[in-house]
């Protein structure tokens, strides 16, 4: 394997001193145990690109969990051991530091989770997704600061290429198709020519992967600074079509994503809003198919359904003589995220005005009198009570009740009527 010592200095220049101390401690502890520890994958890529990365992966030629346990004992850091994967995570300041034993992976069939066996660092690097993610830097003993780069990741970093390590890479694990597009757009790199050919050839392999794994990749994209760039590229290459042939991602949708970020609405999680815009044009049948394919959690699935229901009410919301209370009744059953998504996506000005009015004003309007006030006035529990309260709220929404006395007068008038 190619080795270079220059990275001892780089580690110390670029990473914060507390993290460097931690990594040195991990390397020394591993050496005491006659093992070798390395930082690997994304953190090495980002270190060489001088980008911050708070998820640090440490690969150990030895027993990763035992090493993490020893380290956490001496420094009282918070450790979580993932027994089923035989890995451990130490939470140290703002960093999540994962400890994994070096391993090789065998994929028995496309879409399968890999069979794992302990292996050397070199084998571990060669089972990875892209050359730029297949580098390590030694932390232990005389290996401290040495770069391990068996797949020439550094050259690809310099020439800004995303390159797979072997021809079957996307067949083994087609989630790498989404990952590759994510790195390409995040880093402003390009797919190397052969990688791109294989990516396009292997798009059908995405059908072999479980919904949860695809959803995880989409969620990672939604956390990117500019998710729309990844989706747009995925659409042009035909990758998005593997998810659902009716999802489009054109410049109009790119603008929606931009607007969603600019709006920065409190209480509306940005990834939920992205989901709604991402799938906005799907009809009921295709929306349900996507929910089932990706096993979308209940909260997201409900918001998608709300968004669709509102879409079907847009025409009514655009009626020229619509009252505030009618707007309220048309929208009050739906989540704010679904309403905001429609504000962003709707083309018709009048419907947008109604949606905005609801979100900015009507949504929070309350009557002054309450059910208990009416009970005190001698009314009995039952449907009539609700009708009266609804009528009072409608009057308030329409500006016909300004004080408590106005509301009581409305109640009395209704009863007389």
Residue ranges that bind ligand CTP, judged by CB under 6 A: 41-42, 55, 57, 128-129, 133-134, 173, 175-176, 179
Nearer to ligand CTP, 165 or 327 (CB): 165
Write down the least CB distance from residue 168 to ligand CTP, Å: 13
In the complex with ligand CTP, which residue's Cβ is closer, 40 or 367? 40
Structure tokens given for 285: 């049948």
Look at residues 281, 279, 258 and name the one whose alpha carbon lies nearest to residue 270: 258
How far is 401 from 393, CA to CA, in rounded Å? 8
Residue nearest to ligand CTP (CB): 42
Least distance from ligand CTP to the Cβ atom of residue 222, Å: 13
CB of 223 to ligand CTP, least distance (A): 8
Q: Smallest distance from the beta carbon of 128 to ligand CTP, in angstroms?
A: 3
Q: How far apart are the first and last CA of the chain?
A: 91
Q: Which residues of 16-55 are buried (b: 16+ CB within 10 A; e: fewer)?
A: eeebeebbeebbbbbbebebbbbbbbbbbbbbbeeeebee
What are the E-state strand segments in 93-210?
95-101, 103-106, 115-118, 136-138, 147-148, 161-162, 190-191
Question: CB-wise, 114 or 241, nearer to ligand CTP?
Answer: 114
Longest dimension (CA), the chain: 94
Smallest gap from Cβ 230 to ligand CTP, in A, equals 12
Whichever of 168 and 386 has its CB closer to ligand CTP, that residue is 168
Residue 346: other Cβ atoms inside 10 A: 20
116 vs 64: CA distance, rounded Å = 14
Minimal distance in Å, beta carbon 258 to ligand CTP? Answer: 22
Least Cβ distance, residue 408 to ligand CTP (angstroms): 60
Residue 416 to residue 411: CA distance in whole angstroms? 9
Q: Kindly give the residue spans of alpha helices, DSSP state H, lying in 202-248.
A: 211-222, 227-237
Q: Which is nearer to ligand CTP, 133 or 161 (CB)?
A: 133
Closest CB to ligand CTP among 40 and 282?
Answer: 40
Comparing CB distances to ligand CTP, the nearer of 136 and 388 is 136
Q: What share of the chain is helix, strand, coil (3-state, %, to 5)?
A: 60, 10, 30
| Least separation in angstroms between CB 26 and ligand CTP | 17
Choice between 127 and 396, CB closer to ligand CTP = 127
Distance between CA atoms of residues 186 and 184, nearest Å: 6
């Amino acid at each position: 394997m190619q080795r270079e010592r220059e990275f001892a200095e780089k580690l110390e220049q670029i990473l914060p001193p507390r993290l460097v101390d931690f990594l040195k401690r991990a390397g020394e502890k591993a050496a005491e145990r006659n093992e070798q520890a390395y930082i690997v994958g994304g953190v090495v890529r980002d270190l060489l690109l001088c980008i911050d990365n708070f998820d640090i992966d440490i690969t150990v030629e030895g027993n990763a969990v035992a090493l993490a346990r020893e380290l956490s004992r001496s420094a009282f850091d918070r450790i979580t051991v993932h027994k089923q994967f035989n890995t451990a995570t130490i939470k140290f300041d703002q960093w999540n530091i994962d400890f994994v034993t070096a391993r090789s992976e065998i994929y028995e069939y496309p879409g399968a989770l890999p069979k794992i066996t302990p292996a050397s660092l070199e084998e571990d690097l060669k089972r990875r997704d892209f050359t730029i993610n297949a580098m390590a830097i030694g932390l232990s003993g005389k290996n401290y600061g040495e770069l391990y780069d068996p797949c020439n990741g550094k050259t690809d970093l310099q020439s800004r290429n995303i390159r797979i390590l072997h021809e079957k890479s996307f067949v083994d694990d087609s989630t790498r198709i989404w990952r590759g597009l994510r790195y390409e757009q995040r880093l402003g790199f390009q797919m190397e020519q052969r990688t791109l050919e294989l990516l396009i050839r292997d798009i059908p392999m995405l059908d072999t992967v479980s919904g949860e794994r695809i959803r995880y990749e989409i969620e990672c994209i939604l956390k990117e600074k500019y998710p729309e760039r990844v989706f747009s590229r995925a659409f042009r290459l035909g990758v998005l079509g593997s998810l659902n042939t009716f999802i489009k991602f054109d410049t109009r949708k790119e603008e929606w994503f931009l607007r969603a970020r600019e709006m920065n609405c409190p209480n509306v999680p940005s990834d939920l809003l992205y989901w709604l815009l991402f799938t906005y044009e799907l009809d009921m049948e295709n929306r349900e198919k996507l929910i089932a394919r990706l096993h979308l959690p209940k909260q997201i699935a409900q918001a998608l359904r709300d968004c669709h229901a509102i879409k079907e009410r847009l025409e009514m919301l655009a009626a020229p003589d619509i009252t505030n209370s009618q707007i309220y009744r048309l929208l009050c059953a739906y989540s704010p995220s679904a309403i905001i998504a429609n504000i962003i996506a709707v083309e018709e000005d009048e419907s947008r005005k109604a949606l905005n009015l609801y979100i900015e004003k009507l949504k929070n309007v309350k009557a002054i009198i309450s059910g208990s006030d009416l009970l005190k006035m001698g009314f009995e529990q039952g449907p009539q009570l609700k009708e009266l309260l609804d009528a009072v709220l409608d009057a308030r929404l329409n500006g016909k009740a300004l004080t408590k006395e106005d509301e009581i007068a409305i109640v009395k008038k209704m009863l007389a009527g």
